[in-house]
Chains A and B, each alone.
Chain A
């Protein structure tokens, strides 16, 4: 329990943790976690993100992230990065400043984009900034 609580947004071995973490583990995090498969469909969606975005897990899981769930990420800064990494078979771990348009509200966030060639799921981590 303690170890899980100490996992920070900037945790170096984040991808390994996410791979091994259960849904409950993810729900205890204080930042949003969205896991997508090779076809960009949402496979994992934690409680924090659901609350912040105002979208229930059911409405999100199985849907295409960039076209249905979060079209505000469908651009060169986010979607393109995953595509490039996938195409080049390279790892991706980058944190960027970003503005989400959840419910039409501009929300300044930090996004951490995570992918690795040998991992089935790729992740977008969302940390709200105040």
Chain B
């Protein structure tokens, strides 16, 4: 090329225009040989690839990219057919000297045996957008409950927080959080299996969506931002954001419960559940969404404790009770360890001749600060926190041990049996049969000396409970139906239960003398029980008159303050000694002290 030659004059204008076009193209274009040697490239290519080139050497594309795309050479070797793609949009990370991270996209096409055509462009922005889209999709997925496709806990927490913020800025902005739990769902899950349970949960979700979204949007002051969400298991949350008035929540909660309580047709079977709802309104809302949800959950538990199928408004007193329960739970654990629990005994007497038939064992808690705590307060807590197992076992073993001690002390005159109450949770646990057998073995009592009391609501509930009762009965123990007349079962159902003794509730005994209706009921109970081979025990007998009346009504046994209040072991032993005309012994005391 001579210095005299003006290149312009040799180039056709079209060729020059083409060169300019390639030169100015905002995309990197290059041509290489199959071994990677660069034969052509435009400025944009050079600009993009230069940061990867060692000492500005762009001679060979494969060498330039050897660190960031090590497979490129073999990819190129594999693409032998003309027109075949070596790679398309291959992402190549580049760390620019300015420190910023760029991403290049490289496409290579084999033109013929000697040539490959490439294009390279900066796809940093595209990659960023893709990552944003992916993150957003991930966020959606992490905020959606996969079973019901409802918002999940984190999503509803966010919306509760937004509702809190709105109400803080606007005194007229009302909202309510409804915590919904299906009653008896675990039973459904057991019966229908997990698939059936999941199906049910989806149907519950549909009904919630249908009830909340379609109806409560009408007539709102502003467009309400209602949210239905699933927290997990059978727990759902409804956020009513933008309620006209807080009071409206009662109607909505009831409507939700009604809707959820309608039967569900699953695998050809009508499934019945109900729902308990805890409600937090603006008036008692905490400032943090998590706390609001917790409070709503506490109110829900309170609704469940009240029998379920209802809603309960959260108030600070519910929280106080929950705190107290929490404290009690902790103390109860310590009480079990530190033997603050003890058993008291109330005599059960043959009404006809006044002879002592046995004792009912009742658990008490000598709280170091609060004094004696009633089992009404702590048995439920023990059931909820799983302490009922050790607690029940303690009572069983103490009672059996005590009866064995009385047998040693009073011989043939000793009471024949001791009666121990079983809680619902105990009866649900298969371990109960083993515990009873162990208590009998330890005390060497015959099984017939132990009576176990269950309430009629427990006994009437489900096949599991019934099976458990049959297992216990097979041990030879006596089964008593406690508090008869207060629950659901009728006289007609008595025959279906594996029961030996019916205990007539104190509420019947209390006014039996003045209330003909109660008297007739007692009489009927005694007669039906007897016809089924069961005996009867009346509870809460306080007067001679009541005892005489129950004697005429042919009730077999009685217990109550007429004979004695529940006594601690030592006092019960002394009481027995007096009744049996035995002199008190010095070791009557240590019996109690030992427990």
Report A's interface with B, CB cutoff 8 A. Answer: 47-48, 50-52, 54-56, 59, 70-77, 96-101, 103-106, 108
Give Cα distance in the complex from A70 to B46, angstroms. 12
Tell me which residues across on chain B come within 8 A of A50, comparing CB atoms: 3
> Once the chains bind, are B7 and A55 in contact (CB under 8 Å)?
yes
Residue on B nearest A52 in the bound complex, by CB? B1
Since A77-B50, A99-B46 are in contact, a sample of 16 more A-B pairs with Cβ atoms closer than 8 Å, ordered by chain A residue number, is: A51-B3, A54-B8, A54-B11, A55-B8, A71-B23, A71-B43, A71-B44, A71-B47, A72-B47, A75-B50, A99-B41, A100-B46, A101-B41, A105-B40, A106-B40, A108-B58
Report B's interface with A, CB cutoff 8 A. Answer: 1-3, 5-8, 11, 19, 22-24, 38-47, 50-51, 53, 55-59, 96-98
> Once the chains bind, are B5 and A103 in contact (CB under 8 Å)?
no
Least CB distance from A59 to B in Å reads 6
Which among B41, B96, B98 has the highest number of chain A CB atoms within 10 Å?
Answer: B41
Which among B42, B44, B45, B56 has the highest number of chain A CB atoms within 10 Å?
Answer: B56
> Once the chains bind, are A77 and B56 in contact (CB under 8 Å)?
yes
Residue on B nearest A27 in the bound complex, by CB? B3
Residue on B nearest A105 in the bound complex, by CB? B40
The 7 closest A-B pairs by CB, nearest first: A72-B43, A54-B7, A97-B56, A71-B43, A99-B58, A97-B55, A104-B40
Least CB distance from B473 to A in Å reads 90
> Once the chains bind, are A96 and B56 in contact (CB under 8 Å)?
yes
18 CB < 8 A contacts A-B: A50-B3, A51-B5, A56-B6, A59-B8, A70-B43, A71-B43, A72-B43, A74-B43, A75-B47, A76-B98, A97-B56, A99-B46, A99-B53, A99-B57, A104-B19, A106-B59, A108-B58, A108-B59
> Once the chains bind, are A98 and B41 in contact (CB under 8 Å)?
no
> Once the chains bind, are B56 and A99 in contact (CB under 8 Å)?
yes
Given contacts A99-B46, A99-B58, A106-B46, contact A47 B3 (CB under 8 A): yes
Tell me which residues across on chain B come within 8 A of A99, comparing CB atoms: 41, 46, 50, 53, 56-59
> Once the chains bind, are B41 and A106 in contact (CB under 8 Å)?
yes
Least CB distance from A29 to B in Å reads 11
Tell me which residues across on chain A come within 8 A of B2, comparing CB atoms: 51
Give Cα distance in the complex from A99 to B23, angstroms. 14
Given contacts A71-B24, A101-B42, contact A48 B3 (CB under 8 A): yes
Tell me which residues across on chain A come within 8 A of B44, comparing CB atoms: 71
Give Cα distance in the complex from A74 to B40, angstroms. 18
Tell me which residues across on chain A come within 8 A of B50, comparing CB atoms: 75, 77, 99
Tell me which residues across on chain B come within 8 A of A56, comparing CB atoms: 6-8
Tell me which residues across on chain A come within 8 A of B6, comparing CB atoms: 56
Given contacts A51-B1, A51-B3, A51-B5, contact A74 B47 (CB under 8 A): yes
Give Cα distance in the complex from A40 to B50, angstroms. 22
Give Cα distance in the complex from A104 to B200, angstroms. 69
Residue on B nearest A96 in the bound complex, by CB? B56
> Once the chains bind, are B7 and A72 in contact (CB under 8 Å)?
no
> Once the chains bind, are B57 and A108 in contact (CB under 8 Å)?
yes
Residue on B nearest A75 in the bound complex, by CB? B47
Tell me which residues across on chain B come within 8 A of A71, comparing CB atoms: 23-24, 43-44, 47
Residue on B nearest A46 in the bound complex, by CB? B3
Residue on A nearest B64 in the bound complex, by CB? A99
Give Cα distance in the complex from A97 to B374, angstroms. 92
Give Cα distance in the complex from A103 to B56, angstroms. 18
> Once the chains bind, are A101 and B7 in contact (CB under 8 Å)?
no
Which among A72, A73, A76, A104 has the highest number of chain B CB atoms within 10 Å?
Answer: A104
**Secondary structure dominating the interface of B:** mixed
**Secondary structure dominating the interface of A:** mixed
> Once the chains bind, are B19 and A103 in contact (CB under 8 Å)?
yes
Give Cα distance in the complex from A51 to B2, angstroms. 7
Tell me which residues across on chain A come within 8 A of B7, comparing CB atoms: 51, 54-56
Tell me which residues across on chain A come within 8 A of B45, comparing CB atoms: 101
Tell me which residues across on chain B come within 8 A of A74, comparing CB atoms: 43, 47
> Once the chains bind, are B98 and A101 in contact (CB under 8 Å)?
no
Least CB distance from A62 to B in Å reads 16
Give Cα distance in the complex from A47 to B2, angstroms. 10
Given contacts A71-B23, A96-B56, A98-B56, contact A104 B5 (CB under 8 A): no
Least CB distance from A56 to B in Å reads 5
Least CB distance from B587 to A in Å reads 100
Give Cα distance in the complex from A23 to B407, angstroms. 131
Least CB distance from B10 to A in Å reads 8
Residue on A nearest B61 in the bound complex, by CB? A106
Give Cα distance in the complex from A59 to B6, angstroms. 11
Give Cα distance in the complex from A51 to B45, angstroms. 24
Residue on B nearest A77 in the bound complex, by CB? B50
> Once the chains bind, are A72 and B8 in contact (CB under 8 Å)?
no
> Once the chains bind, are B96 and A76 in contact (CB under 8 Å)?
yes
Tell me which residues across on chain A come within 8 A of B53, comparing CB atoms: 99
Given contacts A59-B8, A104-B19, contact A76 B55 (CB under 8 A): no
Residue on A nearest B98 in the bound complex, by CB? A76
Which of A51, A59, A72, A96 touches B46 (beta carbons < 8 Å)? A72
Residue on B nearest A79 in the bound complex, by CB? B47
Residue on B nearest A106 in the bound complex, by CB? B38
Give Cα distance in the complex from A108 to B22, angstroms. 19
Give Cα distance in the complex from A96 to B54, angstroms. 11
Tell me which residues across on chain B come within 8 A of A48, comparing CB atoms: 3
Given contacts A71-B23, A75-B47, A97-B55, contact A104 B42 (CB under 8 A): yes
Tell me which residues across on chain A come within 8 A of B51, comparing CB atoms: 76
Least CB distance from B197 to A in Å reads 62
> Once the chains bind, are A97 and B8 in contact (CB under 8 Å)?
no
Tell me which residues across on chain B come within 8 A of A72, comparing CB atoms: 42-43, 46-47
Tell me which residues across on chain B come within 8 A of A101, comparing CB atoms: 23, 41-43, 45-46
Tell me which residues across on chain A come within 8 A of B42, comparing CB atoms: 72, 101, 104
Give Cα distance in the complex from A99 to B47, angstroms. 10
Residue on B nearest A99 in the bound complex, by CB? B58
Residue on A nearest B4 in the bound complex, by CB? A51
Least CB distance from A70 to B in Å reads 8
Least CB distance from B55 to A in Å reads 4
Tell me which residues across on chain B come within 8 A of A55, comparing CB atoms: 7-8
Residue on A nearest B60 in the bound complex, by CB? A106
Given contacts A76-B97, A96-B56, contact A104 B47 (CB under 8 A): no
Give Cα distance in the complex from A55 to B24, angstroms. 16
> Once the chains bind, are A104 and B38 in contact (CB under 8 Å)?
no
